[in-house]
Amino acid sequence: MEQWITVTAIRLDGKLTRDEIFTDLKARVDTLRAAGITPGLGTVLVGDDPGSQSYVKGKHSDCAKVGISSIRKDLPADITQEQLNAAIDELNADPACTGYIVQLPLPKHLDENAALERIAPEKDADGLHPINLGRLVLGKESTLPCTPRGVIHLLRRYDIPLDGAHVTVVGRGVTIGRPIGLLLTRRSENATVTLCHTGTKDLAAETRRADIIVAAAGVAHLITADMVKPGAAVVDVGVSRTDAGLQGDVAPDVWDVAGAVSPNPGGVGPLTRAFLLANVVERAEQQLAAAEA
């Protein structure tokens, strides 16, 4: 029998939205350069994981597109914590580097939290330094984590209402699951958030009552059509490298039920990168404002 597949969901287009952000950033970088400040993004990459290498490469090519200079530190997988510390200290001291990241995950013998804490908080482009995460909890101005910023920007770009919305977040990772609730529950967003994880007893019950699902578990096709309220927005953040290629957390049949879905690839990933650059530009703008004051 013939199968009819009805794709009804709006596509939350991360590439298009990224291009809009880049246009804005490029103009701001031109202004900074004219004032004598060149924003510079540093990356610290340890080891030769192909995924991490491709992400870092993407970040540097983004920099070139908006006029941000970039500094790459690629280190072998077997370096010691002291050698990693030395690379971090160099970027902390380098005036050409206005913001940087330590690409995660690090090889298992290295201490990720120690590395993140060693980053000068004012150069933390990821927004993952404990001072910045702590300031976010306190509601103080801080560098915001890139992926949560990207998710919220994408929802707003497509006029998905956040005020009063029930958002179910799936996954409790440090880069998205934990911080995104802090952003979504600010007065400016005003959403109600449920955070689910592997200990959640009835995941489908939690996702089914959501107006917005943020799927960030890193489990391929975890979210299926039966778990989605008709018309809900579904943001696919997770990435799994499988034999079938890159797969998100959202199964294809979700497009038949949801009102809006972010594709993966082509959804949140490009925005994570765009907000990394936005964070670097904003750091440099603050530097300029401080110099002018």
Ligand X SMILES: Nc1nc(=O)c2c([nH]1)NC[C@@H]1CN(c3ccc(C(=O)N[C@@H](CCC(=O)O)C(=O)O)cc3)C=[N+]21
Q: Is 103 a catalytic residue?
A: yes
Q: Is residue 7 a known part of a binding site? A: no
In the complex, least distance from residue 235 CB atom to ligand X, rounded to whole angstroms? 12
Q: Does 189 bind ligand X (CB under 6 A)?
A: no
Site string for ligand X, 17-56 (x = CB under 6 A): -------------------------------------xx-
User: What residue is closest to ligand X based on CB?
Assistant: 269
- Select the span of 136-144, 158-166, 192-200, 270-278 touching ligand X (CB under 6 A): 270-278
Q: Is 140 a catalytic residue?
A: no
Instruction: Give the DSSP H or E segment for 46.
Output: strand 40-46
Decide whether 41 or 227 has the Cβ nearer to ligand X. Answer: 41
Catalytic residue among 62, 126, 211, 236: 126
Decide whether 39 or 42 has the Cβ nearer to ligand X. Answer: 42
Site string for ligand X, 51-70 (x = CB under 6 A): ---xx--x------------
Decide whether 22 or 55 has the Cβ nearer to ligand X. Answer: 55
Q: Which of residues 94-123 bind ligand X (CB under 6 A)?
A: 101-104
Q: Is residue 58 a known part of a binding site? A: no
Beta carbons within 8 Å of 196's beta carbon, 6+ residues apart = 168, 169, 170, 171, 203, 206, 207
Q: Is 126 a catalytic residue?
A: yes
DSSP string, 84-140: HHHHHHHHHH-TT-SEEEE-SSPPTTS-HHHHHHHS-GGGBSSS-SHHHHHHHHHT-
From residue 167, give the alpha-carbon distance in Å to each of 194, 196, 197, 205, 240.
Answer: 6, 11, 14, 13, 23
Measured from the Cβ of residue 37, the count of other Cβ atoms closer than 10 Å reads 16
C-alpha R_g of the chain: 19
3-state SS class at 176: coil
Catalog residues that contact ligand X under the rule CB under 6 A: 54-55, 58, 101-104, 126, 146, 239, 246, 264-266, 269-270, 272-273
